[in-house]
Amino acid sequence: MLPIYFINTARRTDRREFMERQFAALGLVATRIEAVTPETIDAAVLNRFCNPSRGHRVRPKELANNLSHQAAWRDFLAAGASVGVVFEDDGRLSERLPEFLALVSDGVPDGVDVIKLETMGRRPLRLSHRHPVALGAFTLRRMLSTHFGACGYVITKRLAEAALADPFLNTLVNDAYLFSRHGPILYRRQVYQCLPALSIQLDQDGNGRQSPVARSDVRDDNPVPKPRLRRVTENLRAASRDARYFGREWRGLLGPRHPIPFADD
């Protein structure tokens, strides 16, 4: 049985009910992962990853989110499954999700490490033109650019094990680690986008943006902008890595970005 998880903090009963109604309507069984909160994180761990004096660090809420996702990874690894499916608790799920999950219930196509199920609405994405993977009525295409959000993804055993052993895992927010040009996974692993997408965060969804469920406990309403020099340095480093790892993907890198449609729209 394909293990499915959703991350939810105890105080957000509205989000728990929202997700459980969706899973029930889709005929899916999902395990709730109790979300880690900053006050439950060991002080030494907070100091290691969230102390500004030690360089570029994540915020305590972001670290808590990371550890919550990692709890789901550890659970499916302990169960002996080859893949796991992880959702956050603020996503609208497509009616076609069960169709897709049935196709990956025995594992993902060879060479695929993680499949992003989510769309970020109007935010387009660079995708590879080389070797798209047909999976039933769905298409998987390799991601070539940053696409934040971790509201729905399929992750393999080999990637989860490698990530959990990575000492730099918690130096980036989870979605940046998995799905951005500033993390290691996008370049060194095979990260694919599912087309059409099968989940969308409510704050990116025109139909759900005004719902109280869309209110985030993690996102900072007043984020501190990165210094300009750091932004320039990161972009130059990412461009160098593009050339190194995506050298054969010139059509995707130089071509237009693609909007990722949500399956039910």
The number of helices, as runs of H, and strands, as runs of E, in the chain is 9, 11
Instruction: Please report the pLDDT score of residue 221 as a whole number.
Output: 45
Q: What is the pLDDT of residues 200-248, one digit of tens each?
A: 999 888 777 778 887 877 655 445 555 666 666 777 777 777 777 787 7
Burial of 167 (0-12, 13-18, 19+ CB in 10 A): exposed
Cis ω on the peptide bond leading into residue 196 (within 30° of 0)? yes
Q: Residue 3 above 50 pLDDT? A: yes
- The rounded mean pLDDT for the chain is 90
Q: What is the pLDDT of residues 149-159, one digit of tens each?
A: 999 999 999 99
Backbone φ and ψ for 88, nearest 5 degrees, come out as -90, 175
In a domain, 260, yes or no: no
∠ CA(167), CA(172), CA(175), 5° rounding? 120
In a domain, 158, yes or no: yes
In a domain, 127, yes or no: yes
In a domain, 259, yes or no: no
Provide the CATH number for the domain around residue 132.
Answer: 3.90.550
Q: Residue 36 above 50 pLDDT? A: yes
Residues β-bridged to residue 191: 114
In a domain, 234, yes or no: yes
Domain region containing 210 = 4-254
pTM of this structure = 0.90
In a domain, 261, yes or no: no
86 CB neighbour count, 10 Å cutoff: 28
Domain count within the chain? 1
CA 229 to the chain's CA centroid: 27
Residues β-bridged to residue 134: 139
Rounded Cα distance between 43 and 38, Å, is 10
In a domain, 205, yes or no: yes
Q: What is the pLDDT of residues 72-110, one digit of tens each?
A: 999 999 999 999 999 999 999 999 999 999 999 988 999
